[in-house]
A and B are shown apart, each in its own frame.
Chain A
Amino acid sequence: MRAVDIVKTAIGNSFRSRLRTTLTVIAIFIGAFTLTITNGLGTGINNYIEGQVSSIGAPDVMTVTKPAETTAATDGPPKYDPRAASAVAADGPPGTPSVVAMTSDDLSAIADVAGVVSVEPVLNVRTDYVQWTDHDKYVLATSPLGSGVQIELAAGKQFDHASGQYEVILPTSYVEPMGFADYASAIAQPVTIAVTDALREQHVVEATIVGVQEETLFGATASLGDALTTELYDLQSIGLPESSTTEYSSATARFDTAVPAAEVQRSLVDAGYSGSTVADRIGTFQTVIDGIILVLNAFAIIALLAAGFGIINTLLMSVQERTREIGLMKAMGMSGARIFALFSTEAVFIGFLGSAIGAGIAMIVGGFVSGILANGLLAGLAGLQLLAFTPASIAAVLLLVMGIAFVAAVLPASRAARQSPIESLRYE
């Protein structure tokens, strides 16, 4: 029998007992549906997190701090260190270790670390308000922006740091209160940003809105272009002693992507600093999510294994029912290998049918559900597509199920292949 005839005959045979095939297909459908949904959930959430990650740091950028020497409680009171007096509370979640302020000496030390290409201090700017023409003034929280960051924009474009213009990107929540009709109309509009210096004197800087930023998991803060950041930092530092304007809580180091991040981190630790990439900070989230998805996938696989036994059962009945037919085909010169191929193809086809229907319906249901959730329960998380399906993961589900079906077919199909034509033809 030719391969094409084997496939055609196998497909034809699987439809010969419709009820049995349908029931087996339903069992596979349930497993494939669950697996597709759980995979889609993992892909959707991880896509979202990755989108969020790229808005807070580029992959080749590390935030470098100088950790304070921690002293164990039993060691008694720590010795006085004139440098530690200027320890700055690091920005970050609770539990972030306090850090020692860094000076320009530290910056050049970091720049000397192997793998580090460039280093810039993170300038913390505390602005007072932002205002568009004569509309209301709003408190403006800004976040220091590492180099190379891609902001997820609702409108406008990214910063053009080379231009030297004073540029600002505002979160979506600012647009309407500030008096703009919509996101697009805010683009290229001039706004005034106020900052107060150490002498309690307020300065006003005029900047241009270049973009409107989607809200992220990490809150709604505005981002300032390099030129604007430097200008505001200089203004707010008026009246401060020079030593404190050249001290920074952290710096961003750009490293050579050819060098593994872990190696750069090790070198930094040796030099007395600590560096973390965005991937480090966000990786924990992804690990947890991957773990949850793994458990969910395991359940789906268990369902598929159960369906696999369904396939074994179906095929055993099929072989039993077609004993004579098998004997006749063997008497007519069909080889055992082709009989095996015939039955295993039938199983693979049943697997394909179940997984294709399962994956197809999972995609329809998933699209529908995540559409509803995105506008309802999860409306606060802009850009979250809870269930995302990639062709690769769908293909993987299909191949996995067809693989399970093939393995399930081995026992019944080899039983059919081994049947002696005589025994089969005598069978009543």
Chain B
Amino acid sequence: MTTAVLSTRNLTKQYGSGSTRFDALKGVTIDIAEGESVAIVGKSGSGKSTLMHILALLDSPTSGELAIDGLDAAKLRGARLNSLRNRTFGFVFQQFFLTPNTSVLDNVMLPLKIARVPSRERRRRALAALERLELAEKASSKANDLSGGQKQRVVIARALVNDPRIIFADEPTGNLDTATGAVVQDLLFDLNETHGITLVIVTHDEELAARASRRIYLRDGLVVDAIDVHAPVRSAVAS
């Protein structure tokens, strides 16, 4: 049995207090194994983005536990937290979040720059990542001169340039037409299948979710259903 790379126990997250209190998560317990592809599915307001943000250490839960490789995330602070974020996670966002007026290469090199990789090395690795996504000839173009599909491929190149173990994708095809969306889907699942990178996709698109090895359905901050295609790990259902 594979070990859980991410596991949560009874996670809750509240925004505001008193009458304006809003419970985004009401007790979520899930385990995600190394090399899995998991789709977190739900409507807007279901808490799926909040869950992803907590899993990616971008946000902290109000209560409950999160462990990464069995390590309590609440105990991670400062430099260790930053280096874990930098080395372990890659992000693909619906809105791309590319820095405009900056070259594609510079955008892809950003995680390496933050990781203090020497400049020649980061150039080589960024070009290799762009090569893999067939974007090498766009390296010196400005990020805002690209089409939507190209932008999302640049984002994927940026996500994998630092050899992450987990890629978080927040509605990765949300801003793309069906054809380019399909290409991006293929790329993401290929990374998961051939390189063993754990993939966590947040989406409301059933079609995209169907390609994941496991789907976790959220509604009103609770896990309501879990469909396990390959059943590598027993998924816990919400309490």
Contact = CB atoms under 8 A, between A and B. Distances in A.
Interface of A: 1-2, 5, 9, 12, 16, 324-325, 327-329, 331-335, 338, 420-422, 425
Given A333-B84, A334-B82, A422-B53, 19 more contacts: A1-B116, A5-B116, A327-B97, A328-B97, A328-B110, A329-B114, A331-B85, A331-B89, A332-B85, A332-B110, A332-B111, A332-B114, A333-B81, A333-B83, A333-B85, A333-B86, A333-B111, A333-B114, A333-B115
Contacts of A9: 113
A400 B84 CA distance: 40
Given A328-B97, A421-B58, A333 B82 contact: yes
Interface residues of B, number: 27
15 contacts: A1-B113, A1-B114, A2-B116, A16-B102, A324-B97, A328-B97, A331-B58, A332-B111, A332-B114, A333-B82, A335-B79, A421-B58, A422-B58, A425-B93, A425-B97
B114 A334 contact: yes
B63 interface: no
A324 B100 CA distance: 11
A420 B81 CA distance: 14
Contacts of B110: 328-329, 332
Contacts of A2: 116
B59 interface: yes
Contacts of B81: 333
The residue among B78, B97, B116 with the most chain A CB atoms within 10 A of its own CB is: B97
A2 B113 CA distance: 8
Contacts of A5: 113, 116, 119
Given A1-B114, A5-B113, A422-B58, A331 B91 contact: yes
A331 B58 CA distance: 6
Interface string B34-77: 00000000000000000001001011000000000000000000
B185 interface: no
Nearest to B168: A331
Nearest to A6: B113
Contacts of A324: 97
Interface string B106-143: 00001101111001000000000000000000000000
The residue among A1, A5, A324 with the most chain B CB atoms within 10 A of its own CB is: A5
Closest 7 CB pairs of A and B: A333-B86, A333-B85, A333-B82, A334-B114, A421-B58, A332-B111, A422-B59
B86 A332 contact: yes
A2 B85 CA distance: 17
B18 to A, nearest CB: 21
Nearest to A324: B97
A1 B85 CA distance: 14
Contacts of B102: 12, 16
B147 interface: no
B99 interface: yes
B87 to A, nearest CB: 8
B20 interface: no
Nearest to A327: B97
Nearest to A322: B99
Given A2-B116, A329-B110, A335 B82 contact: yes
A303 B78 CA distance: 40
Contacts of A1: 113-114, 116
A327 B116 CA distance: 18
B56 to A, nearest CB: 7
A110 B102 CA distance: 80
B101 interface: yes
A92 to B, nearest CB: 71
Contacts of B53: 422
A1 B79 CA distance: 12
Given A333-B114, A334-B114, A325 B99 contact: yes
The residue among A2, A328, A329, A335 with the most chain B CB atoms within 10 A of its own CB is: A328
Contacts of B93: 425
A422 to B, nearest CB: 5
